[in-house]
């Protein structure tokens, strides 16, 4: 880490860029409500340890798919940033969709779920992949019947919800589990809180660029570093994006702004997984995206130098990664 940062610092010094000390731009860094608030649960789905554990079991259980080969964790693998490391995800029978699997990290704070925002809650989102013929390929009736035939699940659902397995309560348990996958306490969080111990000039340059010249914070704003909105950023695919949901032509090719917290863990990037590295992401924005009739007004050539691009990548890779991110392992599944 230190060698990589110092390498970029050498580039910065050679290029003659001015570097400010860690505390210089603290007011700029505090961009929106900070720090991240405590996760809250819906009134009709309060969190309990027993419900979270049940959700963890369901999340890792391939019996939720028709062929019993795909679980939620197949596409949201904890070891791969709760994504899957693939441009587009593989479902039952080796089928593939046309979108990248979004990470569930900090999805508790999102106002919309899925790239096109077609679900507003984690509870609603949880049932979607189960019924998608390309992903898990089940009907809810089939799935409820299958899990009710597992004594261990029936006993837990009775304990947690006072019912046998139902689709609604499956969704509630999975959502309760997903709300525990939270990233905070990154080096940037500690910097904003006033701890500059490990904040070096390269991270500071990258942070200043993120909230300044590079214009990242036009969309990646607030405590979770997303505006929870939809933008056409010039990726160039034929996917209608948000327009398929909103029915507004202005939303064509627009997709939800993901958080950039833990972004180093979640490659490849964009809704179609077309950019493999953070360096490619920065270069995409630096050139102003791919021109199209619906390109967002915040996308334009940035004219970043090589040193600035490198520092921006380091800020995202090192400054926004938390040592406290929970990496959940597969539990023993009910029988």
pLDDT of residue 164 exceeding 90, the answer is yes
Task: Give the integer Cα–Cα distance in Å for 34 and 92.
Answer: 41
Task: Give the integer Cα–Cα distance in Å for 109 and 197.
Answer: 29
Task: Give the integer Cα–Cα distance in Å for 45 and 122.
Answer: 11
pLDDT of residue 25 exceeding 70, the answer is no
- Quote the tokens at residue 143: 């799935």
pLDDT of residue 33 exceeding 50, the answer is no
Task: Give the integer Cα–Cα distance in Å for 14 and 81.
Answer: 35
> pLDDT at position 10, please?
31
State pLDDT tens for residues 168-204. 999 999 999 999 999 999 999 999 999 999 999 999 9
Task: Give the integer Cα–Cα distance in Å for 106 and 108.
Answer: 5
> pLDDT at position 159, please?
98
217: closest CA among 272, 259, 255, 169? 259
State pLDDT tens for residues 253-295. 999 999 999 999 999 999 999 999 999 999 999 999 999 999 9
pLDDT of residue 18 exceeding 50, the answer is no
> pLDDT at position 35, please?
83
Mean pLDDT of 211-215: 98
> pLDDT at position 31, please?
42
pLDDT of residue 11 exceeding 90, the answer is no
Judged by DSSP in three states, 231 sits in strand
Residues present in the chain in total? 335
pLDDT of residue 98 exceeding 80, the answer is yes
> pLDDT at position 220, please?
98
Judged by DSSP in three states, 218 sits in helix
The least confident of 24-33, 94-103, 124-133, 254-263 is 24-33
> pLDDT at position 202, please?
98
pLDDT of residue 24 exceeding 50, the answer is no
Q: What is the DSSP letter of 327?
A: -
Kindly list the distances between the CA atom of residue 199 and the CA atoms of 7, 186, 187, 192, 317, in Å, as whole numbers in the listed order: 16, 11, 7, 10, 14
- Quote the tokens at residue 286: 């630096």
- Other Cβ atoms closer than 10 A to 12: 21
Q: What is the DSSP string of 305-318?
A: -HHHHHHHHHIIII
Task: Give the integer Cα–Cα distance in Å for 72 and 70.
Answer: 7
Kindly list the distances between the CA atom of residue 268 and the CA atoms of 30, 274, 280, in Å, as whole numbers in the listed order: 28, 7, 10
Task: Give the integer Cα–Cα distance in Å for 100 and 88.
Answer: 4
Beta-ladder partners of 119? 113
> pLDDT at position 83, please?
98
> pLDDT at position 34, please?
63
> pLDDT at position 236, please?
85
Omega before 35 within 30 of 0, i.e. cis: yes
Q: What is the DSSP letter of 98?
A: S
pLDDT of residue 3 exceeding 90, the answer is no
| Residues acting as catalytic residues | 135
Q: Are 182 and 36 in contact (CB under 8 A)?
A: yes
Q: What is the largest CA-CA distance in the chain?
A: 69
pLDDT of residue 37 exceeding 50, the answer is yes
pLDDT of residue 15 exceeding 70, the answer is no
Cα-based angle 154, 157, 159 (whole degrees, multiple of 5): 110
């Amino acid at each position: 880490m230190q060698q990589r940062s110092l390498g970029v610092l050498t580039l910065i010094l050679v290029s003659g860029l001015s570097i400010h000390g860690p505390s210089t731009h603290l007011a700029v860094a505090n961009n929106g409500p900070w720090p991240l608030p405590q996760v809250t649960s819906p009134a009709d789905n309060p969190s309990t340890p027993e419900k979270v554990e049940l959700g963890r079991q369901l999340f890792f259980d391939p019996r939720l798919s028709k062929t019993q080969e795909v679980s939620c964790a197949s596409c949201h693998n904890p070891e791969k940033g709760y994504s899957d490391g693939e441009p587009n995800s593989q479902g039952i029978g080796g089928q593939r969709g046309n979108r990248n699997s979004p990470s569930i990290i900090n999805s508790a704070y999102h106002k919309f779920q899925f790239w096109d925002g077609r679900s507003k809650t984690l509870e609603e989102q949880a049932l979607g992949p189960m019924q998608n013929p390309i992903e898990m390929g089940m009907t809810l009736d089939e799935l409820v019947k299958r899990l009710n035939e597992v004594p261990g699940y029936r006993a837990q659902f009775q304990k947690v919800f006072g019912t046998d397995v139902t689709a609604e309560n499956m969704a509630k348990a999975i959502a309760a589990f997903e709300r525990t996958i939270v990233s905070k306490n990154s080096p940037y969080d500690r910097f904003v809180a006033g701890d500059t111990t490990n904040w070096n000039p390269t991270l500071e340059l990258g942070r200043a660029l993120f909230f300044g010249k590079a214009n990242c914070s036009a969309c990646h704003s607030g405590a979770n570093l997303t505006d929870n909105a939809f933008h056409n950023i010039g990726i160039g695919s034929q996917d209608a994006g948000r327009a398929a949901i909103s029915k507004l032509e202005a939303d064509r090719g627009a997709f939800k702004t993901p958080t950039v917290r833990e972004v180093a863990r979640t490659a490849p990037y964009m809704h179609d997984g077309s950019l493999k590295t953070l360096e490619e992401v920065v270069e995409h924005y630096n050139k102003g995206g791919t021109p199209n009739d619906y390109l967002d007004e915040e996308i334009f050539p940035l004219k970043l130098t090589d040193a600035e691009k490198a520092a921006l990548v380091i800020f995202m890779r090192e400054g926004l990664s938390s040592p406290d991110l929970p990496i959940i392992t597969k539990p023993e599944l009910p029988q």
